[in-house]
Structures are given as structure tokens and as C-alpha cells.
Amino acid sequence: MKIILVGIQGSGKSTQGNLLRDKLGVPYLSTGHIFREIAKEKTTLGRYIKETMTAGYLIPDKKTNEIVSDYLERPEYEKGYILDGYPRTYAQAKAFKNGIDKVIYLDVPDKEALWRLAFRTNENGEVREDETLAAIKKRIELFHKFTEPVLEYYKTKGKLVTINGEQSIEEIHKEIMDKLNK
């Protein structure tokens, strides 16, 4: 099964992605994680990605498409995947040719997402460098501008499932599984 998770930062995509990975037995792939790993590299691309993310901007479509395509060519993604954070723009959605089964939109109001993110830390208990209040607000603004058209694109294709992301983790997961007929 090939699933895309969409939602503003703080909507619970990674939580649900990991639950779905365990339940469905397909790998979970987060573009945010991929980009943070690249940003750690002492390369031109690594510095560029780090600066772009820290400022709260999106990685350009062409570069994002290349990186995601390279990852999805790996053997572990042949039988399916749960993809978080891609596509984020209409151009990325149109360029993506991987036969998606469902697009799950975790609908959470901006205020709720900001509240959740105010308390989120990395694995060391520190606030992540790319999660300053200014960067988070910028990404939420960009979500509305660039990603909402992606939702409409998949809706017209009959692939979009909208989930109320303000429910408990368990209720959200149950609703997703029900919509996937699993």
C-alpha cells in the first residue's frame, strides 16, 4: 500500500506514520527526517538545506523531487510506503508518478499545531534548530499557500481522506484504518 500523509507541522503525521508502519508492515519515510540528515552533512547541499530549513522555507520542487525519487527507488519501498512531507506543492504532486493508493490529510487548526510544537524537542530534549517560532509560523503559512492546492488535486482524483487531527492518537489511527478498509 502506498500512502501519503499530509498536514501542517505538528498535525501528528510522524506519530500516525509510525503507527501505520507497524500495522501495515510498510516502511515510513519522512522527507523532514531525510532533509535534517542531509543538513548535518558538511557539503554544499547540506549547508543549503540547513539554511533553507532554518529560515522556514521549502526545499525547491526540483531538488525535492530528485531526493524523494532516489529514496523510493530503494528495494525496501517496492511493496509500498507511508510518505510524510511530500508532495508539498502542486508541481510536486503532478510530477510524482508512484501510484498512490490514499492521501490522508490530518486536519489540525494552526493554533493547535503551534501549541503542540511549543513543547516538542529532539531526541536530546532540545528544541530543534529548524523549529523556532518564526520558522514554524513561516511553514504554516507556506502550507496554506502551497500544500492546500495539493489536497484539492488529490480530492479530484478520489484519493483524499480527511481526518480530524484534534482527536486522540488512538481515535485518529482507528479512523485512518477504517478509511483504508483495514
pTM for this predicted structure:
0.83
Which range of residues forms the domain containing residue 65?
2-179
The helix/strand/coil state of 8 is coil
Helices 31-40 and 61-72: crossing angle in degrees, nearest 10, is: 100
Nearest to 33, CA basis, from 128, 115, 163: 128
Is residue 103 within 8 Å of 152, Cβ to Cβ? no
Q: What is the pLDDT of residue 169?
A: 96
**DSSP labels for 21-38?**
HHHH---EEEHHHHHHHH
**pLDDT truncated to tens, each residue of the chain (182 aa)?**
999 999 998 899 999 999 999 999 999 999 888 898 889 999 999 999 999 988 878 789 999 998 888 888 889 999 999 999 899 899 999 999 888 999 999 999 998 888 877 766 666 777 666 667 777 788 888 889 999 999 999 999 999 999 999 999 999 999 999 999 87
Number of domain units in the chain = 1
Helix (H) or strand (E) holding 124: none
| CATH code (residue 135) | 3.40.50.300
Cα distance between residue 137 and residue 166, in whole Å: 19
Task: State the burial class of residue 155 (Cβ atoms within 10 Å of its Cβ: 0-12, 13-18, 19+).
Answer: middle
Give the cell for residue 122.
529532539
Most distant CA pair in the chain, distance: 45
Q: What is the pLDDT of residue 122?
A: 66
CB count within 10 Å of CB 147 equals: 22
Q: What is the pLDDT of residue 10?
A: 86
**DSSP labels for 127-177?**
--TT--HHHHHHHHHHIIIIIHHHHHHHHHTT-EEEEETTS-HHHHHHHHH
The count of C-alpha atoms lying within 13 angstroms of the C-alpha of 152, restricted to the half-sphere facing its C-beta, is: 9
Q: What is the pLDDT of residue 64?
A: 92
Q: What is the pLDDT of residue 135?
A: 76
